[in-house]
Chain A
Amino acid sequence: MAFNTLWTQKLKSFFSLIGVLIGVTFLIAVVSIVQGMNVYMEEEFANRLVGLNTFQLRRMSDFNMGNVTEDMWKEWMRRPRINNEDANVVEARLGTPALFSRSCDEQGKVTVGNRSAKGINLNVVDAPYFQIKNYEFASGRPFTAQEARAGAAVAVIGAEVAEKLFPGVNPLGRTATVASLPYRVIGIIQKQGTMFGFSMDKFVIMPYESPARRQACRLAFMDELHVKSPTVAQMTAAVDRTEELMRIRRRLRPNQEDNFAIQTAAGALSGWKQISTVLFAALPGLVAISLVVGGIVIMNIMLMAVSERTREIGIRKALGAKRRDILAQFIIESATISTVGALFGIALGIGLAYLVKALTPLPASVAPWSIGVGVFLGVAVGMIAGVYPASRASRLDPITALRSE
């Protein structure tokens, strides 16, 4: 019997908390995940893929998070490719110091003895590429400018390629066969890990002039030109200058759009920014709905509490409680219930964020401000939900309240 009442009380308390709990959980978890994604996209994704203070001149952007229509795609495919003369002009007339590297790449097979690996990124580049990408070497060295100019058959390989094709042996000085051509391994890049679950270590990098280039792209054309500036300001200037130079070369009139793409870390983020903006715009609505529901539940619980405790209210009034004393008592009670709900919600939200972090490659970092907002909302919802029940309680007539039950 006593257990029964306890249980129903618990059940009731649980229900009274759940609305606020869900709302705040949602708030914390979504903010954590979206903000974590932001950090990840900015620090990891964009900078690692595009590089710090770096841009790429391409035929078309390869980060497209928004909708790409068929017409857009057709227009892109009609665009001329970037050629060696473009690269030469940009390099010669950029006006600010920078590192340059042409690049072509293709997925392909690499063979060592009787082992082979498929789906390896075969990448031909100029010598400054390693500096542009800020690659650290696990062992060995990058190829030199002379090797690059001569088109020497030397290769720098990713950590996963090293593990797969040279198990238990030091790959340095050994031969790997790329597109039926023997390449001598001269360097191994440190493990990069994964991004969105994809390995970043499955690549072979070779000199741009080396024989394998014919596999990756046609003579005189490239996939992209990498340009790295020393500072952000210089990069911004370099981007503008490159656009100008390319428009002149392509003879574009002022009303014509660029028929090439200049890809920066910020640009790569724009698609994601759109998604996160939508999420952040929808969040207040979703949180508000659960909080309103939670507030209504709490209000009803408090109305029940007031009617169950009418006699208590009568006693307090008989002992000298003023209206505002009773009002304060029930509003504080209501705010307490709601705040407890919010605290559970914060705990659950943080838990969810960490769960996402543990189970997916998506990072999640809990935003301190979202915890503050969660607590504030908990207190506020409880206080607002408590006003009506508390004012009913405060207006009870003492003798009527004492006689109840």
Chain B
Amino acid sequence: MSDLVIQIVDLTREYQMGEDRVQALKGVSLEIARNEYVAIMGPSGSGKSTMMNMLGCLDTPTSGEYWLNGQEVSRMPDDALARVRNREIGFVFQTFNLLPRASALQNVELPLVYAGVSSRARRDRARAALERVGLGNRMDHKPNELSGGQRQRVAIARALVNEPSILLADEPTGNLDSATSADVMRVFDRLQAQGQTIVVVTHEADIAAHAARVVTLKDGLVASDARQERIQAA
């Protein structure tokens, strides 16, 4: 129990679409232990993003339980959820979601601003996080002055800067070519080796191959959950 980071029990999520009710998740249960490296796969529309948004506390389930580090978060009030998003979760989006008018450094500092870290400590930690993803020399660049791969690495640095207990990535390489995808996956592999727990959504087999465990969703349900030999990027 103590080593479980995530435990979800019979999680459902319904959307109201006019007259219709769409069940995006129909009852998913899953446990993820510390330092696990999990890939979530499945066809488009199978509920991968819906589940990731739940795990990232960006969205709340219709029913079911979500325990994060032994805390039931699915019923938490707004400000408590904000705190969880800030301290426990690092989220990497397919579309990067950087603030366009802020520099790389300022983007990475943002979670620390909301954590109430003093401005000097903020700068030092944001710098260190950017150096970890190999962008020590790009700190003052705005997102539009960076390549897609560099932007995603800024986003990863931002996700990591507050030392979250889990790194969630929803199709992080979906907008990148294969060479830069490999760069990003190398960063993930290294982070996992350093002890980071990682969940990556992908529909590309060669991305999923980096993970030690592959969970496949289909129509809002877990279709398979299997461990595998990892292929480490060179």
Q: Does the CB pair B79–A322 fall under 8 Å?
A: yes
Q: Does B91 contact A (CB under 8 A)?
A: yes
A311, A312, A317, A397: the one contacting B85 at CB < 8 Å is A317
B82, B87, B93: the one contacting A322 at CB < 8 Å is B82
Q: Which residues of the partner chain A approach B59 to less than 8 Å between Cβ atoms? A: 397-399
* Stretch from B37-45, B110-118, B192-200 at the A interface: B110-118
Q: Does B56 contact A (CB under 8 A)?
A: yes
Q: Does A315 contact B (CB under 8 A)?
A: yes
Q: Do A402 and B111 form a contact, CB below 8 Å, given A318-B56, A318-B85, A320-B87?
A: no
A314, A320, A397, A398: the one contacting B111 at CB < 8 Å is A320
Q: Does the CB pair B97–A320 fall under 8 Å?
A: no
Q: Which residues of the partner chain B approach A325 to less than 8 Å between Cβ atoms? A: 82, 114
Q: How far is the CA of A140 from the CA of B158 in the complex (A)?
A: 88
Q: Shortest distance in angstroms between B123's beta carbon and chain A's nearest beta carbon?
A: 17
Q: How far is the CA of A45 from the CA of B78 in the complex (A)?
A: 67
Q: How far is the CA of A319 from the CA of B126 in the complex (A)?
A: 14
Q: Shortest distance in angstroms between A395's beta carbon and chain B's nearest beta carbon?
A: 9
Q: Which residues of the partner chain B approach A323 to less than 8 Å between Cβ atoms? A: 78-79, 82
B82, B87, B98: the one contacting A317 at CB < 8 Å is B82
Q: Which residues of the partner chain B approach A402 to less than 8 Å between Cβ atoms? A: 58, 93, 97
Q: Does A392 contact B (CB under 8 A)?
A: no
Interface residues on B, range: 20 to 34
Q: Shortest distance in angstroms between B234's beta carbon and chain A's nearest beta carbon?
A: 33
Q: Shortest distance in angstroms between A133's beta carbon and chain B's nearest beta carbon?
A: 67
Q: Do A320 and B79 form a contact, CB below 8 Å, given A312-B99, A399-B53, A402-B97?
A: no
Question: Interface digits, B57-90 against A, CB 8 Å rule (1 contact, 0 not)?
Answer: 0110000000000000000001100110111000
Q: Which residues of the partner chain A approach B53 to less than 8 Å between Cβ atoms? A: 399
A311, A312, A318: the one contacting B58 at CB < 8 Å is A318
Q: Shortest distance in angstroms between B130's beta carbon and chain A's nearest beta carbon?
A: 16
Central interface residue in B82, B111, B158, by most chain A CB within 10 Å: B82
Closest to B96 in A: A315
**Contacting residues of chain B (131-185) with chain A, CB-CB under 8 angstroms:** 158, 162
Q: Does A94 contact B (CB under 8 A)?
A: no
Q: Does the CB pair B82–A320 fall under 8 Å?
A: yes
Question: Interface digits, A313-331 against B, CB 8 Å rule (1 contact, 0 not)?
Answer: 0111111111101000000
Q: How far is the CA of A358 from the CA of B79 in the complex (A)?
A: 58
Q: Shortest distance in angstroms between B147's beta carbon and chain A's nearest beta carbon?
A: 20
Closest to A394 in B: B78
Q: Do A320 and B58 form a contact, CB below 8 Å, given A315-B99, A399-B53?
A: no
Q: Which residues of the partner chain B approach A312 to less than 8 Å between Cβ atoms? A: 99
Q: Which 4 A-B residue pairs are closest in the complex by CB-CB distance?
A: A320-B86, A320-B114, A399-B59, A399-B58
By a beta-carbon cutoff of 8 Å, the part of chain A in contact with chain B is 311-312, 314-323, 325, 397-399, 402
The 22 sampled A-B contact pairs (Cβ below 8 Å) are A312-B99, A315-B97, A315-B99, A316-B114, A318-B56, A319-B85, A319-B114, A320-B82, A320-B85, A320-B86, A320-B114, A321-B82, A321-B114, A322-B78, A323-B79, A325-B82, A325-B114, A397-B59, A398-B58, A398-B59, A398-B85, A402-B58
By a beta-carbon cutoff of 8 Å, the part of chain B in contact with chain A is 53, 56, 58-59, 78-79, 82-83, 85-87, 91, 93, 97-99, 110-111, 114-115, 158, 162
